Amino acid sequence: MDKHVPYFSTPTIVQLAQGSPEWLDYRRTMRNASETAAVLGVSPWCTPYQLWLQKTGRAEVKATAAMQRGTDLEPAARAAYETETGIIMQPLVLQDGLYSASLDGMTLEGDLIVEIKCPFKGQDSELWQQVKAGHVPDHYAAQIQHQLMVSGAQLAHLYVFDGSQGLLRPIEPIDHAFQRIRDGWEAFQVYLDTDTPPPLTDADTVIRDDADWLAAASAFAQAKAAADLADAAVTQAREALLALARHPKEQGAGVAVTRFWKAGAVNYKAVPELKGVNLEAYRGKLREEVRVTAS
C-alpha cells in the first residue's frame, strides 16, 4: 500500500500508568480513542448521553467484569502476540492536541500498534467469530482508527486473545474515518462546552419487566387514571362556579371565587437595551428533573 501520511503532527508520550488515578483524571479532559464509538453513536455499551454524564463528572465509569478480564489478561496476551509475530510492543499513552490514545502496544519505530481484546467466551465469543470471518465490529473499528490517527502508525493489529492463543487482524488507516472522528468529537464538544446533554437515543431506554417495577407501574397507572378523572371533575365544577360568579369575590359552602389582575410576563426580547446581550450568562445551573408518564 502507499505510505500513509499521519493526520496529526508527531504525538507526545504521556507519562502516566494506564489505569492509575492520574490516568483516569487525564482521560476526563481528553478525546479518548475508547470513547469515540460512543461519540459516533456506534457503541453497544455507552450512548452519547451516558458519555456526557461521565465527561461532566455526573457519573463515574464503573469497571465491569469484562473490563477487569481484559486488564488481567493483557500482559499474557501481549506476550503471546510478541511470540507469534516476533514484534516487541510497548504499551503507552499518546496525545496530540485534544486527542488521546491509550495503546496496548506500539513498536519503537512507531509504525505499528496493537489493540488487544480478551472476550469472556474466547473462541466461542461473537467477536472471535467476527474477526475470524474478516469483520471488525464498528465500535472497535472506530477505536482503532482513532488510535491510528493519533499515533500516525502505518498499520494496526487487532489481536483477540482467548487466554492461551490469539487471532490477529490487520487494519489500515482510513483518512475519511479520521475526518468522521474529528467531526463527531467537534459536535460532541458543543454539549460539553454548553453543559447541555445530548438527545436521548433508543439505547438510553431500559425495558423493565421485573415484579417490583410491574407492581409500581400498575399502581401509578391506576392512580394516574383516577387523578385524571378527578381533574376532569374539578374542571367541570370550576367552570360551573365561574358561570355563576358575578362579583369580584363570592364565597359559600367553603368555596370562594376571586377575580384579580396580575402583571403580565416580561418580554425580554422586546427590550432594546437587551439586544445583543448574551442572557445565557445569567441562566441558572443545569438541573436534572424527573418526569413520570403513563402510555
Number of Cβ within a 10 Å radius of residue 235: 10
Cα distances from 78 to residues 24, 25, 85, 179, 183, in angstroms, run 22, 26, 10, 30, 32
Closest CA to 99 of 33, 17, 183, 55: 33
If we measure between CA atoms, which residue out of 256, 237, 238, 240 comes closest to residue 248?
Answer: 256
Question: 42-51, 171-180, 278-287 — which is least confidently predicted?
Answer: 278-287
102 in helix, strand or coil?
A: strand
Rounded Cα–Cα distance for residues 71 and 33 (Å): 17
Give which of 6, 2, 21 is closest to 153, Cα–Cα.
6
DSSP percent split of the chain into helix, strand, coil, nearest 5: 45, 15, 40
Q: How many residues does the chain have?
A: 295
pLDDT tens-place string over residues 280-291: 888 888 888 888
Contact residues for 81 (Cβ-Cβ < 8 A; gap 6+): 87, 89, 105, 114, 116, 157, 159, 161, 166, 168
Lowest mean pLDDT among 4-13, 14-23, 179-188, 195-204: 4-13
Which residues have CB under 8 Å from 246's CB, separation 6+?
none
pLDDT of residue 24: 82
Tell me: the pLDDT tens digits for 217-259? Answer: 999 999 999 999 999 999 999 999 999 999 999 999 999 999 9
Predicted local confidence at residue 2, as pLDDT: 45
pLDDT, residue 1, reads 40
**pTM for the whole structure:** 0.83
Predicted local distance difference test score (pLDDT) of residue 279: 82
